[in-house]
Amino acid sequence: MLAYVIRRLSYGGVVVLGVLFFLFVVFFWVATPDDIARRALGEKAPPEAIEQWKINHGYDRPLWPWQSLEDNMLFSHYESMLTFDFGRSDADDVPILEKIRTGAGPSLALTVPMFLLGLPLSVMLSLVVAVFRETYVDRMGVVLCVLGMSVSILLYIIGAQFLIAKLLRWFPISGFDPSPQVVMRFLSLPILVGIVSSIGSNVRFYRTVFLEEVHRDFVRTARAKGCGEARIMARHVLRNAMIPILTQVVIAIPFLFTGSLVLESFFGIPGLGALTVEAIQGNDFATLRTMVFVGALLFVVAQVLTDVSYSLADPRVRLE
Amino acid sequence: MEAWVISNIVTSLLLVSSVLVVLAVRRSRMWSEAMGSLWKRRPIAIGVVAFYLAIGILDSIYWVGGINAGEDVVSAHEAKSVIDRLFADSRERSYSAPLADVEFYGSAPLENPGWHLMGTDLIGRDVVYLAMKGVRVALLIGGLTSLIAIPLSLLFGISAGYFGGRVDDVVFFVMSTLASMPTLLLLIALIMAMGRSTVSICIALAVTSWVGFCRLVRGETLKLREQDYVQAARALGVSELQIILRHILPNLAHLVIITFVLTFSGLVLSEAVLAWLGVGVDGSWGQMIDQARSELSRDPVVWWNIAAAGLSLFGLLLAVNMVGDAIRDILDPRTLRESP
C-alpha cells in the first residue's frame, strides 16, 4: 500500500514538472516577455519603457539554460513555483500568494455548499430515473437532462438574475459580505444557479453508471431472493457504482478551491475565480500562470487521493 | 488570397466531401442501416440540424457586386454572402421591438415597418440577421476544432495503444499533464498567449479537448490489438501500417462520429463563456449574449437580442445533443460513458 502511494505520488510529481514546463513554453516562449510587456504598457510603448518594465518584473534574463546556465528564466520559473514563491502580480504588484489567500475563503463559501447540495441531489435524481428505467419517467428525465445541458451557463445566470433577483426581489442581484448572518443572502442565488446548471449533465452521467449496474447478475440474484427495489438500489446498485461517483467527487475538489470564474464574477464574489477573470482582463500573465499551476497541483493531489480511495471503496481494485 | 475566397473554397470542398461520404454510406450495409434507424428515431432533430447547416452554408458563399449599394462605394466592392444579400436593405437607426412599425425609443417610423421578426439592435441591425451570422461561427468553432483534435487523438491514441512501451509512456504523460490543468484556465492561457484570432481559439479548444478522445482511442486500440483477426494479420506478415489502416481504424470509426457530435455542443458552450471573458470569436452568439446583458437593465426592457441569441444557441445544441444521443445508442450502446 505504502509503496503504491509513493509510486503514485512520484508520478504525480513528474506530471507537475510537466505542467510547469508547459506553462513556461506558453507564457515565456509563445507569448514572449516583449509581448507581455507590450500588452501591459500598450502597443505604442517606446522600447526603453518595455526594457524597463521587463527589468522591473524580472523578465529580462535569457530564457533557456543553454543561453546562460546560472541565470535563466526556465530554472527560476521552476524554483519560484515549486517553493510557492509566486512573486508579484504583473498588473498591480500585489503579492500573488496574498491574493490567493484572500480569495480562497469566498470561493470555498460558494463552491462547498454547491457541491454538498448538488452531488446528493444529482445522485438521488438519477437513482429515481434508474428505478423507472424504460418507462416514460426515464424518457422524460433524459429529455429534461438534454434540455438542461443545451443552455449556456451565461443564460442561466442572466435569467436567474433577471427573474429571481430583479423581478421577484428575493435575493440581491450581486455582491458579497463575509459576516455569517448575511453571507447566505448573497450566496443563495449563485449556489442555486450553480446546481441547476450542472444538474442535467450530472444526472445523465450517473444514470448511465447506474443502468450499467442494474443489469448485472448480482442484481438479478438479489431480486430473485426477494429484495425490495429500494434495498436493491441502495445496497447493490449504489454501492457498486461508488467508483465512478468517487472519481467525480475527488476530481471536483480542486475546483472547489479555484472557484467558478463565471459565477463569481457575475455575482460579484471576490473569490479566486473573480481574481482570475480580473487577471485575464488586466493582461496579468503572472497571476494567470500561478492560478493554472495551483489548479493543476491540486488536481494531481486529488487524483492520487482518488486512486487510493478506489482501493478503500472497492476491494476488487488491486494496487499494482 | 482574401478571406472570402478561402471560405468559398473550403465550403465547396466540404460539400464535395459530404457527397462522397453519403455515397460511401450508401454502399456499406451497416452504415446505411444505422443512418436509416437514426432518421427514423430523430426526424425533427435532424431537420433542425440540417436547417442550421443550410444557413451556415448560405453564409459561407461570397461574391462581389450584384447589390444595390447606391452611393456607398465601399459596400459595392465588398464580398457579401447569400445571407448578407437577403438582409441588405434591413438597416434601421436604433432599437425597434419585434415586428414594430416605429422605433423603440421615440417613435420615428422605421424604414421597413413590420419586417423585423426579432426587432433591431442598438445600431439598427436586424436581430434575425445577427443570429443567422452566428450560425456560421458556431459551426466553424465546432467543425474546425474537431478537424484539428480528432486526427491528433487518432494519431497519438492509436500509436500509444498499438505500439505500447515507450510511445505509450510519452503519450500518457502528455495526456495526464494536459488533463491536470483546469480546462477553462488552460483555454484562456493558450488564447492569451497565441492571440485571439478564430484559428488560435480553435487550436486552443482542440488542445483542451483532444485528451479525452485520445484516452478513449488508446483504450479501444488496446482491446482491438488482441483481437484474433489482428493476430492473424500479424502472423500472415501484414505490415503494421496496413494493420492499423485496415483493421484498427475502421473499428474506431463509430467512436469518431459519436465523439464528434457529443463534443460539438461542449465546444460551442465553451466559446460562449470565452466570448463573455472577451476572448471569443467575433460575431458568435456568446458575444451577442454578452453584449445584450446590459440591455436587460434598461427600462423598458430590451429582451429580443438576448432571446434571439439564446434561442439560436439552445436550438442548435438541443438538436445536436438529441442526434448525438441517438447515434450513440445506435452505434455503441456499451463502451462510451462520457463524463459530465
Could you identify the residue written with the cell 465546432? Answer: B142
| Contact predicate B289/B308, CB 8 Å | no
Tell me which of B52, B175, B192 to substitute to probe the interface with A (most A C-beta atoms closer than 10 Å): B192
Nearest-angstrom CA–CA distance, A176 and A269: 5
A121, pLDDT greater than 90: yes
Q: What pairs with residue B64 in β-bridges?
A: B79
Residues A3-33 pLDDT 10s: 777 888 888 889 988 988 888 888 888 777 7
Interface residue B31 vs chain A (CB under 8 A): no
Q: Is the peptide bond before B300 cis (omega within 30 degrees of 0)?
A: yes
Residues 6+ apart with CB under 8 A from B105: B94, B95
**Could you tell me which residue, B40 or B97, shows the higher pLDDT?**
B40
Closest-approach residue (CA) in chain A for B183: A292
The total of other beta-carbon atoms located within 10 Å of residue B320's CB is 23
| Contact predicate B7/B62, CB 8 Å | yes
Q: How much is the pTM?
A: 0.85
**Which domains, ranges and CATH numbers included, belong to chain B?**
3-90+126-337 (1.10.3720.10), 91-125 (no CATH)
**Could you tell me which residue, B335 or A303, shows the higher pLDDT?**
A303
Nearest-angstrom CA–CA distance, B146 and B139: 10
- Residue B71: pLDDT band with limits 50, 70, 90: low
- Mind giving me the DSSP string for A52-85? HHHHHTT--S-SSTTT-SSS-HHHHHHHHHHTT-
Mean pLDDT (chain A, rounded): 82
Mean pLDDT (chain B, rounded): 84
Amino acid B76: pLDDT: 65
Amino acid B70: pLDDT: 57
Residues B155-172 pLDDT 10s: 999 999 888 889 999 998
Interface residue B314 vs chain A (CB under 8 A): yes
Residues of B numbered 100-129 whose beta carbons fall under 8 angstroms of chain A's beta carbons: which are they?
A: none
B229, pLDDT greater than 80: yes
B58, pLDDT greater than 80: yes
The count of CB pairs under 8 A between chains A and B is: 132
Out of B173, B193, B278, name the one closest to residue A31 (CB): B193
Residues A275-290 pLDDT 10s: 888 888 887 888 888 8
Nearest-angstrom CA–CA distance, B112 and B321: 37
Amino acid B111: pLDDT: 73
Amino acid B340: pLDDT: 45
User: Do the chains contact at A154 and B176, CB–CB below 8 Å?
Assistant: no
Tell me which of B181, B185, B288 to substitute to probe the interface with A (most A C-beta atoms closer than 10 Å): B185
Nearest-angstrom CA–CA distance, A39 and B147: 31
Mean pLDDT computed over A244-264 = 79
The total of other beta-carbon atoms located within 10 Å of residue B37's CB is 12
Nearest-angstrom CA–CA distance, B340 and A118: 13
Residues B287-305 pLDDT 10s: 888 888 888 777 777 888 8
Mean pLDDT computed over A101-121 = 87
A266 vs chain B: nearest CA distance in angstroms?
A: 10
B216, pLDDT greater than 50: yes
Amino acid B68: pLDDT: 62
User: Do the chains contact at B182 and A30, CB–CB below 8 Å?
Assistant: no
Residues 6+ apart with CB under 8 A from B133: B59, B83, B283
The total of other beta-carbon atoms located within 10 Å of residue A258's CB is 27
